[in-house]
Amino acid sequence: MKTPTATGTITSGPAPAEPLVPGPGRRPAGRRTPRGIRRHLPYSPWLFAAPGLLVVGAFSLYPFLSTLVNAFTDRRTLVPGEFVGLANFRELLDDEMFWIGLRNSSLYVLGVVPALVILPLLLAMLVQRHIPGITFFRSAFYTPVVASIVVVGLIWVWMLDDRGLVNSVLEAVGVGRVGFLSDQWLLLLSAMGVTVWKGLGYYMIIYLAALANVPRELHEAAAVDGAGPMRRFFTVTVPAVRSTMVLVGALSSVAAFKVFSEVYLMAGPSGGPAGEDTTLVMLVQRVGTGLSGRVGYASAISVVVFVVTVALMLLVLRADRKEDA
Amino acid sequence: MRINRRAVAAAAVIAVVLPLSACGGSEAGSADASGKVEGEITFQTWNLQANFKDYFNGLIADFEKQHPGTDVKWVDRPAEGYADKISADAAGGTLPDVVNVSPDLVAPLAKAGLALDLDKAAPQYKKEYLLGAWDAHRVPGAEGTYAFPWYLNTGPLFYNKRLLRDAGLDPEKPPTTYGEVFDAGLKMARQSKGKVAALANVPTIEDFGRYGVPLMNEEGTAFSFNDPKGVELLTRYKELYDAKALDPQALTATPESSGHKFLTESVAMNPGSALDLANFKKQAPSLYENIGITDQITSTGKANMYVMGVMVNAQSKRKPAAVAFAHFVTDATRQMEFAKKVAIFPSTAGSLDDPYFTEEDGTDETRVRVAAAKSLKTAVNYTPVLFSEQMKTELRNAVARALQGKQSPAEALDNAVRACDRLLRQS
């Protein structure tokens, strides 16, 4: 005689275990979901995501698509635009200032990214050690990160001024005054220095987290095998934090290509002597703002910045994948 | 999922169409401002709340008392990014009813049909103002005047007597012409072996104007500062730059940074206004002890003046109240009151003949005030109203290229005129 149970029959053996939370494809036979709930199930995730999607749509997607559309118009701040096809992009090719901006933004990436990948790692290794008072230095290195970029920029302008602290010291030791803020290349280099100085603490924290996950035994084993500090750095530390280095490289290259504040504050609104220190984002600001702003043309420059930024990200990630292979 | 694709497609279409929908034409409002003065209006000032809160609150209270049924909301915007704020408001249709503007801000707003033509809407007030001030808000290529003139400013050339004395120059005989400024600058640089500069800034459009360079053609359709006189001015500045008589950071200087250089006694001369004197006294007492004051340098016999205006939004729903309030702010009584609170000058006819602007009491303040008021009677706003920020950058960069020797002064100015003309056509 078969005795029915809730999960099967005595003779047929134990029934397969049911998941505690049934998925849509594994609904228990015989248990019916109320009609209304079942009908709305596919929408539920969208409802939950709606607030977030609205914010992203309003503040990211809409401005992005708006910029994309404007790039093909001759729109100005107060004058409605008309579709002009690729005219803005053709104008870019003949615009000397665009090429200067592209050059400076690219140089910024080349100058800043290697420094921001390597220096914070070395700093993180330094402050990771258990030395009395090291907590103070950890905080000190992080201070520039939380300081306002405007304040930081102004302080450096005062220090690097022709009659500022740095030049006074250089003059006192017989080197003479250096035109940090009047020579186009020194100005760009000074701005890079400020970016690196301000970013060190931020990336140091990221590296500290990565270093904490490197097993101590690896270092000990390498040391037992006779590896010195340099060898251990290249064969243990670097491989262990390589993915973090890629992350830092990607983040810092995007930020460096889009640099604005440091150069604007140090080189002035005109972008240094004869505008030779203008970066692409500064050009967007200069061309696209104000009552006579050329929104269409500035949008075309923004599209170029976007394309280059995405290309930079892909380049870094591709380099990482090649290493993995 | 079909539904997802539809949603994404709809979102994309909306996102693309919405920005295009903003490309609609903006309709110029009617110039008729007749009717009852009533209703709520918004009044926007340019960085005035911090120091003049009581003055404006009193002014607004007086207006509301004179015109029952009106309600003036006062908003003040910081100096930094003021033009951008107006741009955003104008583009978004939220421009206040009454706006504090300068002539270069009025021009694009008038072209976009957002500034009320006062020659049509309020011609009866024209006679109350100095003619030059009333005309300051005319826009070439458009009929009409687009803002009430408000306060004016001009100022002398300040110089550091100690630095002039150290360079072997007589501090009691300061330069009075451009030629003398250049000669004094070269001598100072020679004497100090390039350590003391005469000036901290490169020439701007108003310098070209003061030097007697024709800035635009008569129709206001093209720039002309590449005239031989303009080339001559730039050539003289290059001599200064080569001799280190210009501050090393002059190529990137702003009016603020130049003022700072003068304050710290790094440069010997700086143009300024009556407002600066109190600043020197407070922030740089050692400079104040050595301050020398002489007339603004000009080759035309006419000093440069800065004009502030009060514009009425042509799309305001309360035009009668907006026009009445803009006139109230800028009438002779209110301007005199304001001028006695801060070192500015009224633009109303006859106000500059008030003893306050004609009689000295032996102090530097009154000396500067009386001299400035006298020069304002013939002063000119040299900066063309169509000269936008982008054009200023083009000129500045061209000047820098000439001073660095990358281009000849003539070539640099030709390029700057070409670039400014292109921007003018696109505006």
B164 and B211 inside one domain: yes
Q: B20 in a domain, yes or no?
A: no
pLDDT in tens, A56-108: 999 999 999 999 999 999 999 888 889 999 999 999 999 999 999 999 999 99
ipTM attached to this prediction: 0.81
Backbone angles phi, psi at B107, to 5 degrees: -55, -55
- Look at residue A7 and tell me whether its pLDDT is greater than 60: no
Domain membership of residue A27 (yes or no) is: no
Q: What stretches of B243-308 show up as alpha helix (H) in DSSP?
A: 255-263, 274-283, 285-289
How far is residue A88's CA from residue A149's CA, in Å, rounded to a whole number?
A: 32
| Lowest-pLDDT choice from A110-124, A192-206, B220-234, B361-375 | B361-375
Q: Last residue of some domain: B351, B375, B399?
A: B375
Domain with A247 in it: 87-324
Contact B43, B72 (CB under 8 A): yes
User: Could you give the number of structural domains in chain A?
Assistant: 1
Q: Is residue B322 part of a domain?
A: yes
Measured between alpha carbons, how far is residue B233 from residues A298, B163, B227, B299, B392 in Å? 33, 24, 10, 11, 17
Q: What is the pLDDT of residue B310?
A: 96
What residues contact A137, with CB distance under 8 A and at least 6 apart?
Answer: A127
pLDDT of B27 > 60? The answer is no
Q: Evaluate if residue B67 carries a pLDDT over 90.
A: yes
Pair (B363, B281) in one structural domain: no
**What does the pLDDT average to over A11-25?**
41
Q: Kindly report, residue by residue over B186-235, the tens digit of the pLDDT.
A: 999 998 888 889 999 999 999 999 999 999 998 889 999 999 999 999 99
* Same domain, yes or no: B296 and B315: no
A82 lies within 8 A of chain B by CB: yes
Residue in A62, A268, A292 closest to B108 by CB: A292
Of the candidate ranges A41-45, A169-173, B214-218, B385-389, the one whose mean pLDDT is the lowest: A41-45
Specify the DSSP class assigned to residue A235: I
A320 belongs to a structural domain: yes
Q: Which of A259-263, A275-279, B359-363 has the lowest mean pLDDT?
A: B359-363
Residue B4 lies in a domain: no
Classify B302 in phi/psi space as left (phi over 0), alpha (psi -120 to 50) or beta.
beta
**Into how many domains does chain B fold?**
2
Asked, for residue A280, whether it belongs to a domain, the answer is yes
Identify whether residues B193 and B299 lie together within a single domain: yes
The CATH number covering residue A179 comes to 1.10.3720.10
Tell which residue, A256, A259, A263, A247, has the closest CA to residue A191.
A263
The mean-pLDDT minimum among A4-8, B116-120, B341-345, B394-398 falls in: A4-8
Query: Stretch A245-255: mean pLDDT, rounded?
Result: 92
> Per the CB < 8 Å rule, is B1 touching A42?
yes
Chain B CB contacts of A286 below 8 Å: 389-390, 393
Q: Name chain A contacts of B258, Cβ cutoff 8 Å.
A: none
> Which CATH number fits the domain that encloses residue B268?
3.40.190.10
Chain A interface disruption, residue of B87, B388, B401, most A CBs within 10 A: B87
Residue B238 lies in domain: 157-303+382-426
Mean pLDDT of A279-291: 93
**Residue B61 above 50 pLDDT?**
yes
Pairing assessment for the beta strands B98-101 and B39-46 based on DSSP bridges: parallel
Mutate to test the interface with A, among B241, B252, B424 (most CBs of A within 10 A): B252
Q: In which band, very low, low, confident or very high, does the pLDDT at A204 lie, cut at 50, 70 and 90?
A: very high
